[in-house]
Amino acid sequence: MQKTKEEILSISNKEGIKFIEMQFMDILGHVKTVSIPARLLEKAINEGVLFDGSSIVGYATINESDMRAVPDLSTFQIFPWTENSIKTARLICDIYDSSGNRFEGDPRYVLQKSLKKAKDMGFRFNTGPEFEFFLFRLDNSGIVLPEPDDKGGYFDLLPDDRAEHVRKESALILDMMDFNVEATHHEVSPGQHEVDLKYTDAMRSANRIMTLKYAIKTVAMKHGLFASFMPKPIYGINGNGMHIHMSLENLDGQNAFYDANTKDMLSDTAKYFIGGLIDHSLETCGVIASWVNSYKRLVPGYEAPVYVSWDHLNRSALFRVPAGREKNTRVEVRNPDPAGNPYLQFAVLLESGLDGIKNKTFPPEPSHINLFEEKNDSIKVLPENLGHALSYMENSDFIKEALGEHLFNNFLYIKKKEWEDYRSQITEWELKNLLPLL
Report pLDDT digits (tens) over 20-60.
999 999 999 999 999 999 999 999 999 999 988 877 876 76
* One domain for residues 239 and 175: yes
| pLDDT for 87 | 95
- pLDDT average, residue stretch 149-153: 68
The answer to whether residue 436 sits within a structural domain is no
User: Which residue, 71, 103, 135, sits at the end of a domain?
Assistant: 103
Q: Is pLDDT of 377 > 70?
A: no
- pLDDT average, residue stretch 398-420: 96
Winning range, highest mean pLDDT, from 161-175, 262-276, 298-312, 315-329: 262-276
| pLDDT for 372 | 63
Q: With CA atoms as reference, report the closest residue to 90 among 242, 4, 210.
A: 210
Domain CATH for 161: 3.30.590.10
* One domain for residues 94 and 184: no
pLDDT band at 373 (very low <50, low <70, confident <90, very high): low
* One domain for residues 95 and 161: no
Q: Look up the pTM and report it.
A: 0.94
On average, the pLDDT of the chain sits at 90
User: Which residue, 103, 123, 158, sits at the end of a domain?
Assistant: 103
pLDDT band at 92 (very low <50, low <70, confident <90, very high): very high
More confident position, 371 or 348:
348
- pLDDT average, residue stretch 291-314: 88
| pLDDT for 386 | 97
Instruction: Report the C-alpha gap between 297 and 303 in whole angstroms.
Output: 9
Domain CATH for 98: 3.10.20.70
- Tell me if 192 sits within 8 A of 131, measured CB to CB: no
The answer to whether residue 59 sits within a structural domain is yes
User: Which residue, 78, 103, 128, sits at the end of a domain?
Assistant: 103
Report pLDDT digits (tens) over 202-255.
999 999 998 999 999 999 999 999 999 999 999 988 899 999 999 999 999 999
* One domain for residues 266 and 128: yes
* One domain for residues 166 and 118: yes
* One domain for residues 57 and 194: no
* One domain for residues 147 and 84: no
Domain containing 11 equals 5-103
* One domain for residues 137 and 16: no
* One domain for residues 248 and 153: yes
pLDDT band at 107 (very low <50, low <70, confident <90, very high): very high
| pLDDT for 64 | 60
Domains contained in the chain, number:
2
* One domain for residues 148 and 259: yes
Q: Is pLDDT of 154 > 90?
A: no
| pLDDT for 62 | 47
Report pLDDT digits (tens) over 131-145.
999 999 988 888 888
Q: Is pLDDT of 413 > 60?
A: yes
Instruction: Report the sign of the C-alpha dihedral through residues 80, 85, 89, 90, in that order.
Output: negative
Q: Is pLDDT of 183 > 90?
A: no
Instruction: Report the C-alpha gap between 196 and 174 in whole angstroms.
Output: 11
Q: What share of the chain has pLDDT > 70, as a percent?
A: 94
* One domain for residues 268 and 375: yes
Q: Is pLDDT of 63 > 60?
A: no
* One domain for residues 179 and 71: no
